[in-house]
């Protein structure tokens, strides 16, 4: 029987970060309740998105009391991954840019592509 090599700290954190991003994206794209909006806020904040050219997307920490324990674990996974790995969450998953764009459009369905490019210029 061959034993698997243990994952190093960064690899295991990358896996947790990726899973947490996917879980919050699934929740945000469902957009059926406040939990979806909170998930979107966390993801957009972690990706350094701007609501306007001068106002960054922020997370209201008091609203985290509205989510369940599994969702809170995902939020903490995104925060830990972002702060430790210093990587934009949309770059951590396949089709991340497109999925984050869908979340963005949920918040700003009437924003033009030009406005979005101005507000979103430093996401990459």
| Centroid of chain to Cα 118 | 20
CB 103 within 8 A of CB 46: no
Where are the alpha helices (H) located in 1-124, listed in sequence order?
A: 9-30, 34-46, 69-85, 96-107, 113-119
pLDDT of residue 119: 44
pLDDT of residue 54: 64
Is pLDDT above 60 for 116?
A: no
Q: How confident is the model at residue 110 (pLDDT cuts 50, 70, 90)?
A: low
pLDDT of residue 98: 95
CB 49 within 8 A of CB 104: yes
pLDDT of residue 76: 96
CB 71 within 8 A of CB 35: yes
What is the C-alpha separation between 108 and 102, in angstroms, rounded?
A: 10
* pTM of the full structure: 0.79
pLDDT per residue as tens digits for the range 24-73: 999 999 877 899 999 999 999 999 877 666 667 788 889 999 999 999 99
Q: How confident is the model at residue 5 (pLDDT cuts 50, 70, 90)?
A: low
Start-to-end Cα distance in the chain: 44
pLDDT per residue as tens digits for the range 79-105: 999 999 999 999 999 999 999 999 988
Q: Is the dihedral of CA 54, 60, 61, 62 positive or negative?
A: positive
What is the C-alpha separation between 115 and 121, in angstroms, rounded?
A: 10
pLDDT of residue 123: 43
Of 84, 102, 83, 86, the C-alpha closest to 24 is 102
């Amino acid at each position: 029987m061959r034993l698997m090599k243990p994952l190093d700290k960064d690899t295991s954190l990358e896996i947790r970060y990726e899973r947490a991003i996917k879980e919050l994206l699934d929740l945000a794209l469902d957009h059926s309740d406040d939990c979806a909006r909170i998930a979107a806020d966390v993801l957009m904040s972690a990706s350094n998105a701007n609501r306007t050219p001068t106002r960054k997307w922020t997370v209201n920490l008091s609203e985290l009391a509205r989510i369940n324990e599994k969702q809170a674990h995902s939020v903490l996974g995104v925060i830990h991954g972002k702060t430790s790995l210093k990587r934009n969450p949309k770059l951590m998953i396949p089709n991340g840019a497109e999925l984050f764009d869908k979340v963005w459009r949920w918040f700003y369905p009437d924003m033009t592509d030009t406005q979005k490019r101005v507000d979103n210029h430093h996401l990459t």
